[in-house]
Amino acid sequence: MKLTATREEILSPVQHVIGVVERRQTMPVLSNVLLSARNNRLSVTGTDLEVELVSSVALKVQSAGDITVPGRKFLDILRSLAGGVNVTLAVESDRLVIRAGRSRFTLSTLPGAEFPVVEDINAQQVLTLPQAEFRKLIDKVHFSIAQQDVRYYLNGMLLESEGGKIRAVATDGHRLALCEAALKERVTGKQQVILPRKGVMELQRMLGTEGEVGLEIGTNHVRCEIGEVRFTSKLIDGRFPEYNRVVPANAHCIIDADRGFLKQSLSRTAILSNEKYRGIRLNVKPNLLTLQAHNPEQEEAEDQMEVSYAGEEIEIGFNVTYLLDALSAIDTDRVNIALTDSNSSCLITAASPDGTKYVVMPMRL
């Protein structure tokens, strides 16, 4: 393999894929990126066996070939070079030699044939939606994905397509986030897939606000192309909980509050909450919300704010972090918090419905 291009032309695809490459891997080849040069294109591939990213660029290839090189070292070398300099990559005696100006680097390699790539995902369904909408789905729910839960199906985000809508749902067992958006074309039946946490985070990093994205869903993988980058992720094999059963259906006590003021009040009161459990007590009476917190050092905080509320008096405890995460994900100035009683989950929504719902379980204080 041999090619010559500017530093920027080679650096760009490497930066696109490096997010899934980790230095310490059980398989040495997974610390590498795959360089494939042919038909005057350079493709760079990175994978951790769960998520695969492929980025390609058009440039002049003198000699075709495939090779893998240590990803982070290769990136650091390219970053260290002067801007605009011409870089030559050539495989010589099972080493990749990088030449730029008066600089020369020799990197160890592993054969391209050893690198695991996902060729065909056998797409069963293709969904098309605007990039901005797909990004919104992820932004609104990603923080509720469980981290290293033994219930492995909670360590990902549910994508559900039905009729003319696509829904994203995430839960860690203590809270649930749901957001839905319109599809360009209606789909028949209902399909559910679970995207792993790392795949969700990579998509969030890659998705922009312009153009559309086609989502190919296979039996074990999901794939989409965003600009010059092709994203492929394994799916989590498992059954996601019946999330509709968790969303309160008859919460009749509705608090209408200013989102900004409520966030500030929660943040102030949380300063003196228990650092481990982050518990905070809400006491709601007609048109008045009182927030209270205390900790093992016998310190206490209390804050009051006016709200629009006409129901019965309710006292209930929550993890303040879960409330703040939900309020931060809502865009409108006013929010509704629907309560049933002091032992039931609350439902947080925008005052003017925007397709998002947040459910937070209560905690004993």
pLDDT for position 133: 94
pLDDT for position 28: 92
87 falls within a domain: yes
Q: How many residues in total does the chain contain?
A: 365
Q: Which two tokens stand for residue 240?
A: 């996601």
pLDDT for position 184: 85
| Mean residue pLDDT across the chain | 95
* 107 and 133, same domain (yes or no): no
306 falls within a domain: yes
Cα 361 from chain centroid (whole Å): 23
Residue 189 burial class via C-beta count within 10 angstroms: exposed 0-12, middle 13-18, buried 19 and up: exposed
Tell which of 227, 245, 263 closes a domain.
Answer: 245
Domain with residue 102: its CATH number is: 3.10.150.10
pTM comes to: 0.92
Q: Any idea what the Cα angle at residue 20 is, between residues 13 and 149, rounded to 5°?
A: 155
* 328 and 236, same domain (yes or no): no
pLDDT for position 185: 87
Tell which of 245, 276, 305 closes a domain.
Answer: 245
Tell which of 80, 114, 148 closes a domain.
Answer: 114
Which residue range is the domain that position 102 belongs to? 2-114
158 falls within a domain: yes
* Angular region, 228: left φ>0, alpha ψ -120 to 50, beta rest: alpha
pLDDT for position 23: 79
* 154 and 173, same domain (yes or no): yes
* 130 and 236, same domain (yes or no): yes
pLDDT for position 3: 97
- pLDDT > 90 in the chain, percent: 89
* 9 and 39, same domain (yes or no): yes
* 65 and 139, same domain (yes or no): no
* 295 and 354, same domain (yes or no): yes
Mean pLDDT by runs of 10 across the 365 residues of the chain is: 96 96 87 96 96 96 96 97 96 96 97 93 91 95 96 96 95 97 88 95 92 92 93 96 93 95 98 95 97 96 97 96 98 96 96 93 92
365 falls within a domain: no
Chain segment 2-27, per-residue pLDDT in tens: 999 999 999 999 999 999 998 787 89
Domain count, the chain: 3
pLDDT for position 141: 98
In this structure, what DSSP letter does residue 258 have? Answer: E
* 109 and 156, same domain (yes or no): no
